[in-house]
Amino acid sequence: MNVLLIGSGGREHALAWKLSQSPILERLLIAPGNPGTDQIGHNISILVNDFAALVDLGRREQIDLVVVGPDNPLADGIVDHFLDAGIHAFGPTAAAAQLEGSKSFAKELMAEAGVPTAEAHAFDDPMAAAAFARESGKPWVVKADGLALGKGVIVADDLDTTLAAIATLSTIPAGKRLLLEERLHGPELSLLALCDGRTLLPLPVARDHKRLRDGDAGPNTGGMGAFAPVDSVDSDLADMIVADMMQPVVDVMEARGIPFQGSLYAGIILTDDGPRILEFNARFGDPEAQVVLPLVEGDFLAALLACAEGRLTPDMLRPRPGYAVCVVLAAANYPGAPRRGDVISGIEDLNANDLIVFHAGTSISAEGLVTAGGRVLGVTGLGATLQAARDRAYAAVEQIEFTDKQYRTDIAAIAL
């Protein structure tokens, strides 16, 4: 089979790595890809939002399956374009991607499906949102309704911060509509599942580390590291989340005629009153993909194709024993505008056993491999125990050098 993978981050390198192990893969093209994906398949320099050029490429190269990584092209209908051209694509249509692209739409579906989530109030007028917050006299989590590159949520500790957050988020395009959400407390989980519109195939439960600095301090980022599986989540709890919080949403979407096909990502918080959905994403998580994909056995490409063809069965992939820990190395100034062009050294010398270095924001220059984005590399260690996987990842992290590299030293520490 010929596969076209769309995207250029660490998630896409992990997807390329996993797809390349499939016995049915013939050719893998990645648009636009990164230096890591180019070692596995062939990078094609077409941007993820140039749908006409991508569909042309799909036709010309006789692509059997397109796999879409990032959220923005999904929300903009990339899958619809491929389907119109008669090309199978793994990922939701624009209508189904609204589950991530509009938080108010997701809340409405969850209400209809009876899925527990934080109480929320939607406002199309920031003045009305501010009046409501003042009236309530308490702080709220303020969320832009649309996609905002991970910058659309402000967790306020007091009323003044809530009002300031309303003012800030109402000025970004994704913030034309705002949500005020009740603040919940507890550990967070990421549960990703493949879905063909009806059937779910859950992957191992992962935990992300969203803040920039150790001890969950500093600003929110796309994710500074992750580990899986999360032992504190037993199989009963994971089964319950899938059956009672994910399947009902899938069923409501199917009944509405907008079936969800792709990777359904549930962001969950374990409160004292039980698990609650914080958000749904319509794609694989990044860096979650860098830890969950190495932990599954079976033909991954066959499973994605089965999703696109509406014939997924839950036995197509199985968890494999062991643990994975991914530590993200970020560029100077991330999550602000990252500095680019710093030379990266030390990757070649690494012993490849139980270690995968996923590229994200890298590029090749005259000086060799250099930084080219906020999250530069995702270093994934594997091991029979969480400790072994973590030690493996950090041993490699210390050998990779670039100027002012930023990383957390406490990824997965909470679970040890």
Q: Which stretches of the chain bind ligand AMP, using CB under 6 A?
A: 118, 141, 143, 153, 155, 181-184, 188, 210, 267, 278-279
Q: Which of 208, 322, 329, 342 binds ligand GLY (CB under 6 A)?
A: 208
Q: Which of 58, 223, 294, 383 binds ligand GLY (CB under 6 A)?
A: 223
Select 69 or 139, whichever has its Cβ closest to ligand GLY.
69
Q: What's the helix, strand, coil split of the chain in %, to 5?
A: 35, 30, 40
Q: Which of ligand GLY, ligand AMP, none is residue 285 near (CB under 5 to 8 Å by kind)?
A: ligand GLY
Q: Which of 12, 145, 181, 286 binds ligand GLY (CB under 6 A)?
A: 286
Q: Which of ligand AMP, ligand GLY, none is residue 281 near (CB under 5 to 8 Å by kind)?
A: ligand GLY
Q: Contact at 8 Å (CB) between 160 and 142?
A: no
Q: Which of 92, 152, 285, 361 binds ligand GLY (CB under 6 A)?
A: 285
Distance CA 19, CA 24 (A): 9
Q: Which of ligand GLY, ligand AMP, none is residue 118 near (CB under 5 to 8 Å by kind)?
A: ligand AMP
Which residues touch 51 (CB under 8 Å, ≥6 apart)?
A: 73, 76, 77, 78, 81
Q: Is 100 an interacting residue with respect to ligand GLY (CB under 6 A)?
A: no
Nearest to 382 by CA among 351, 408, 361, 407: 351
- Per DSSP, the three-state class of 229 is coil
Distance CA 327, CA 378 (A): 6
Site string for ligand GLY, 144-173 (x = CB under 6 A): ------------------------------
- The bridge status of strand 188-196 relative to strand 200-202 is antiparallel
Select 46 or 268, whichever has its Cβ closest to ligand AMP.
268
C-alpha distances (whole Å) from 249 to each of 98, 114, 238, 330 are 13, 9, 16, 35
Q: Which residue has its beta carbon closest to ligand AMP?
A: 279
Return the range that interacts with ligand GLY (CB under 6 A); candidates 105-113, 135-143, 279-287, 302-310: 279-287
Q: Which residue has its beta carbon closest to ligand GLY?
A: 223
Q: Which of ligand GLY, ligand AMP, none is residue 115 near (CB under 5 to 8 Å by kind)?
A: none
Give the Cα-Cα-Cα angle 95, 97, 100 (nearest 5 degrees): 130
Select 88 or 209, whichever has its Cβ closest to ligand AMP.
209
Return the range that interacts with ligand GLY (CB under 6 A); candidates 27-35, 73-81, 140-148, 283-291: 283-291
Q: Which of 181, 288, 342, 354 binds ligand GLY (CB under 6 A)?
A: 288
Q: Which of 281, 290, 362, 380 binds ligand GLY (CB under 6 A)?
A: 281
Taking the complex as a whole, the smallest distance from the CB of residue 40 to ligand AMP amounts, in Å, to 30
Which residues touch 359 (CB under 8 Å, ≥6 apart)?
A: 10, 13, 34, 35, 36, 37, 376, 377
Write the DSSP string, 1-42: -EEEEEE-SHHHHHHHHHHTT-TT--EEEEEE--HHHHTTSE
Q: Contact at 8 Å (CB) between 57 and 46?
A: yes
Which residues touch 365 (CB under 8 Å, ≥6 apart)?
A: 341
Distance CA 316, CA 231 (A): 23
Positive or negative, the Cα torsion across 336, 341, 346, 349?
Answer: positive
Select 33 or 222, whichever has its Cβ closest to ligand GLY.
222
Q: Which of ligand AMP, ligand GLY, none is residue 184 near (CB under 5 to 8 Å by kind)?
A: ligand AMP
- The bridge status of strand 27-32 relative to strand 2-7 is parallel
Select 208 or 354, whichever has its Cβ closest to ligand AMP.
208
Taking the complex as a whole, the smallest distance from the CB of residue 346 to ligand GLY amounts, in Å, to 25
Taking the complex as a whole, the smallest distance from the CB of residue 148 to ligand AMP amounts, in Å, to 9
Residues interacting with ligand GLY, by CB under 6 A? 208, 222-223, 281, 285-286, 288
